Structure 1
Amino acid sequence: MDVLHKNIKILWNFKQNISLEILLFFQGLDQINLESDTQDPFIDETYGYGSQNMINLMITGRATTYVWDHDQDVGGLKLKGIEKQSEIGFITIMEYHRYCTVGSFYKNPIHPVWVLASDTHLTVLFSEERRLVSPETKCEQAKRVFKRFDPYGNNFISADKLQDVLNALDLVSEPEYVNIMKKKLDNENLGIILMNAFLDEFFPREESSTPDMFTLIHYNGLPQSNMNGQVQFHIGSAILLESDIKSVCESNSMLTILQTKWPNIEVTWGDNIIPSVN
């Protein structure tokens, strides 16, 4: 009970989090302990920042610690991620800083709504364009499955894992065929298979269902983060550029976060005012 009591004590000090306090009680300590990979408190005692466990609990109903798809085995440890496509999504500036890798379940939620995480704050981004969250294409599914066998995010797998990947995708996985494909995809006999080579072989020229242009709406509930201290919605016109080269501007935290989902995105915001994510 010490962990729950500690969380409740911290929540009491930050009374605006009463909804989380209720959720903790309804979820139950035993279930939360099963889902979490850490004993750290949900709320930082000094600054009131929420942990990733807290964010995941609020978004998905499960207090897991990580944001990748499914569970991952890291050095023999089973680390819990997001178990299925969530109702709303989550993207974070921490991925830009390489502190985490957000999986497809969060980046491609059921509804076109995302929680945006800066270094210190959570805001909300949404769109009326439902094609932004259209069902996974076969190529997107293959990429997600491939990454399950690439726990370190190297964009390649051991050639010995090819049969497992093919089997997980319900593709032909008989040993004779797998050996033929190993030789084709690893023609230099390096013992690895690159993700791009795999996708080009099995899912060539698949067109994306995402529109090139769409409208985004951003909401930041902190008055001090809005013009004239008045909370308001900010509307932006987004375009996905054809170039593979993305612009990098660390002073534009909004764009930095959006590029973790749409690497080639550019957004023109109303009145040329970039909304704050802090």
Structure 2
Amino acid sequence: MADFSGNQGNEINEIKRLLWGTIKDDVFRRWAQGFCFSSDEPTALVQNHGGPCAVIAPVQAFILRNIITEPVGNNWREVEQDTQNELLVGAICEILVQAARQNGGRFVLVDTCDSPTATPSPNNDSPTLDHSSVDYIEQPADESCCQKQFHAHLRVLTFENKEEVETFYLQRIYTLQGTYGVLLFLYSVIMTKGVEQIMAEVNDPAEPFIDDTYGYGSQSLINLMLTGRAVGNVWDHEQDVGGLKLLGIDRQSEIGFLAYLEHMRYLEVGSFLKNPKNPVWVLESETHLTVLFSFEKRLVSLETPGEIARRVFRKFDPEGNNFIMSSKLGELLKALDLVSDAEYVKVIMKKLDPENLGIILLNAFLAEFYPDEKTSVPDTFNLYHYNGLPGSCPDGKVCYQEGHAVLLECDIRCVLESNPMLTCLQTKWQNIEIQWQQGVTPSLN
């Protein structure tokens, strides 16, 4: 068991400040839940209260990513308890691996003293359980003491590789499923990443990761879970905003991210999150996180040159108007490694802007430089949606909702404020239409 009298104890206090600011008991209680699967959908996690979706939804997304990439049997919607445990631990380890990249690859896990102590086996292989040394948390006299009791009975364990972490969690699956399972995992991610490294990535170190009124997770917390970096923005790379360089996503992510509020220009989701490595996206509404996924892997196939050009074009078209000023044409060509000397730019500018309007249309640009390229995305595909809150699901049952998507030929988008799901998905597929089974559109909230 770790001794908190030194640096590790200080780090736990730093994590408390980073996450909570000032801890409020009612907010803490919302987060006090374990990772438990739905009785109606064996691979879907249940969320008890608003708030912890910032951790539960990313874990769910990695569970689905692993189901898609590594089939679990003939029927992925019917799995046994052992497979459930393996999927949960596998997802959690993937998130920890991302967090460990900038910490020398070491894993630092936070556990409670009420579980059996982990001791190295004689041959220094994976940890084994020592049931002879067990400390139990005394039950708090009233609910207001729960956060004090939780923080008073923590220990820190260090592991050198992913295999040791997997063994540790599979032997202690009850810890993940117990009252503090979500929080213990969250603390482990932060401890593995390192508070100092996290503080160097966030936009505002003084802003806690968890809202002290409603318990919602910040964008930095969501990004940490999805990508391993605690940056506060979802655009690609970094952007200069009023002289400040604000960090964004630095690489194509394993799991994607789409936001309902992007259509209102409150934020900008970059290509690295809109086009992840796997056909799984966390969807963000104003108050909640859910997950969209598909088994159609062509949705995330490698970008074609034309798709890369679309992405780069957007950098010069931040308002999303599908045109840029003619004066930016040379910079665009250079960014795409196309011929960009001054004389050539003049010739192409005259061709793309024959009426001398001072703008270059996206479609005209693509037709000139990528005339024969076909999109890699299929016209039709099936989608599934997950919402972990029983009250937001049909009949109060946490189940995947299936829909059939069609990409229309027209480029005209009809934004329906009454259909947040469609509006959110249109930020990626502008011309998408979806027919949901049972005729009920899933809720983002």
TM-score (normalizing by structure 1): 0.90
Amino acid at match of 2:190: L
Alignment partner for residue 37 of structure 1, among 195, 200, 203? Answer: 203
- Which residue of structure 2 lines up, in the alignment, with residue 169 of structure 1? 336
Contact conserved, 2:292 with 2:384, CA < 8 A, in 1?
Answer: yes
Please state how far the C-alpha of 1:119 moved relative to its aligned partner: 1.1
Amino acid at match of 1:25: M
Q: Percent identity?
A: 58
- Which residue of structure 1 lines up, in the alignment, with residue 32 of structure 2? 15
Amino acid at match of 1:220: N
Deviations, residues 4-60 of structure 1 (Å, cap 9, x unaligned):
442334688233441222212211122212222223221111101111111111111
Say whether residues 1:108 and 2:270 are aligned partners: no
How large is the Cα RMSD of the aligned pairs? 2.3
Alignment partner for residue 350 of structure 2, among 183, 194, 218? Answer: 183
- Which residue of structure 1 lines up, in the alignment, with residue 441 of structure 2? 274
Say whether residues 1:28 and 2:194 are aligned partners: yes
Q: Distance between the aligned counterparts of 2:318 and 2:439, measured in 1?
A: 40
- Which residue of structure 2 lines up, in the alignment, with residue 75 of structure 1? 242
Structure 1 stretch displaced more, 134-143 or 25-34: 25-34
Contact conserved, 1:8 with 1:21, CA < 8 A, in 2?
Answer: no
- Which residue of structure 1 lines up, in the alignment, with residue 393 of structure 2? 226
TM-score (normalizing by structure 2): 0.58
Structure 1 stretch displaced more, 223-232 or 163-172: 163-172
Alignment partner for residue 211 of structure 1, among 375, 378, 381? Answer: 378
Amino acid at match of 2:189: L
Q: Distance between the aligned counterparts of 2:412 and 2:349, measured in 1?
A: 31
Distance 1:3 1:190, change over 3 A: farther
- Which residue of structure 1 lines up, in the alignment, with residue 312 of structure 2? 145
Deviations, residues 136-168 of structure 1 (Å, cap 9, x unaligned):
111110121222344455544454443332222
Amino acid at match of 2:291: V
- What residue ranges of structure 2 are gaps of 5+ in the alignment? 1-10, 34-181
3-state DSSP class of the match of 1:47? coil
Structure 1 stretch displaced more, 177-186 or 36-45: 177-186
Q: Distance between the aligned counterparts of 1:43 and 1:83, measured in 2?
A: 24
Amino acid at match of 2:237: H
Amino acid at match of 2:438: D
Q: Distance between the aligned counterparts of 1:150 and 1:249, measured in 2?
A: 24
Amino acid at match of 2:32: K
Distance 1:163 1:248, change over 3 A: closer
3-state DSSP class of the match of 2:286? coil
Distance 1:21 1:92, change over 3 A: same
Q: How does 1:223-262 map onto structure 2 within 5 Å? A: 223-262=390-429
3-state DSSP class of the match of 2:257? strand
Number of residue equivalences: 278
Contact conserved, 1:93 with 1:253, CA < 8 A, in 2?
Answer: yes
Please state how far the C-alpha of 1:61 moved relative to its aligned partner: 0.7
Deviations, residues 227-256 of structure 1 (Å, cap 9, x unaligned):
222111111111111223334332222112
Distance 1:274 1:53, change over 3 A: same
Q: Distance between the aligned counterparts of 2:387 and 2:192, measured in 1?
A: 28
Deviations, residues 172-225 of structure 1 (Å, cap 9, x unaligned):
223332232233334455655443432232122421111111000111111111
Distance 1:9 1:15, change over 3 A: farther
Contact conserved, 1:74 with 1:151, CA < 8 A, in 2?
Answer: no
Q: Distance between the aligned counterparts of 2:372 and 2:250, measured in 1?
A: 29
Please state how far the C-alpha of 1:100 moved relative to its aligned partner: 1.2
